[in-house]
Amino acid sequence: MKIIGTGDEGENFVIYKAFDSRLFSPIGKYVNWKLENSWDDYNELYHAINYIESLKNLEGIWYEIHTIEKDGDIKGVVTIVGGDLNKLRVDKADAKNTILLKYFHIIEKGKGYGSYWLKSVIMPYYYDQGFREILISSSHPKSFNFYNKIGEEVDTYYKTSDNGLYERISKTFVVRMQ
C-alpha cells in the first residue's frame, strides 16, 4: 500500500500491488444497488475478481488497484493493468505505452471525485512512468459521455448479461495522456 496523493476533503489516493477483496467494496455496493433497483443481472464484482485472478497466471502482465479512502472507508476503486497487453487480446500497435483501466467505481457519484482522481492523480502517475494512453472499456451508458470528453471512442459492441436477460451496449475509449 502506498499513498500517492491526498484530496481537499481528507481523501487519500492509495495504490495496492496485491489483491484484497475488501478493495472492491465499491463494486459490491454498486451490484447491490443494481439488485435493489432491478437494473440488470451483470455482476461486476464477480467478473472483477475473476479478471484479477486470471491476470495472476499471465507472465508479463501486471495490475495495480487504486482506491479513494476517507475515514477508513473505501469510496472508490479502479484497477490499472499493463504489460504485454497482447496476452489480453488487446491489439495495439503501441501496447508498451498503453495501460488498461478496468472496473472504475465511485460510491459518491456526481461530486467530481472520479474526474479529479483520473485526471489529477492516476493519469499523471502513469504518465511519469512513461505510459501515454489508457484504454477504457465500459458497459455503463452513463459513463460514456465522461469518457468521450476525455478521450475518443474507438469501438462499440454488445454483450449479453450474465443470465442472458439483457443486451448491454459496451464501448471502448482511448485516452491520450499529456
pLDDT in tens, 93-143: 567 899 999 999 998 777 777 889 999 999 999 999 999 999 999 988 888
| Residue 77 placed within a domain | yes
Distance CA 1, CA 157 (A): 36
CATH code, domain carrying 89: 3.40.630
Summarised one tens digit per residue, pLDDT across range 50-70 is 999 999 989 999 999 999 999
Which comes out higher in pLDDT, residue 122 or 37?
122
**Mean per-residue pLDDT over the chain, rounded:** 90
Pairing of strands 133-138, 167-176: antiparallel
Asked if the structure places residue 135 within a domain, the reply is: no
- pTM for the full model? 0.91
Does residue 178 belong to any structural domain of this protein? no
Place of cell 482506491: 67
For position 157, what pLDDT does the model report? 93
- pLDDT given for residue 93 in this prediction: 56
pLDDT at 161: 84
Q: What angle separates helix 44-55 from helix 25-36, to the nearest 10 degrees?
A: 150
Predicted pLDDT of residue 7:
87
What is the count of structural domains for the chain?
1
> 113, 100, 5: which is closest to 52 by C-alpha?
100
Q: Is the pLDDT of residue 151 over 80?
A: yes
pLDDT recorded at residue 92: 64
Is 18 domain-assigned?
Answer: yes
129: DSSP letter: T
Structural domain range at position 49: 2-129
Asked, for residue 136, whether it belongs to a domain, the answer is no
| pLDDT for 24 beyond 60 | yes
What pLDDT does 127 receive?
97
If one compares 26 and 95, the residue with the highest pLDDT of the two is 26
Name which of 12-16, 33-37, 133-137, 156-160 the model is least confident about: 33-37
- Give the E-state strand segments of 71-166 in sequence order: 73-83, 98-106, 133-138, 152-160
Would residue 82 count as lying in a domain?
yes
Q: What is the pLDDT of residue 57?
A: 87
Q: Which long-range contacts (CB under 8 A, 24 or more apart) does 140-145 make?
A: 141/169, 143/104, 144/171
Q: Is residue 98 part of a domain?
A: yes
In the structure, what pLDDT confidence band is assigned to residue 88 with cuts at 50, 70 and 90? confident
Whether residue 151 lies inside any domain: the answer is no
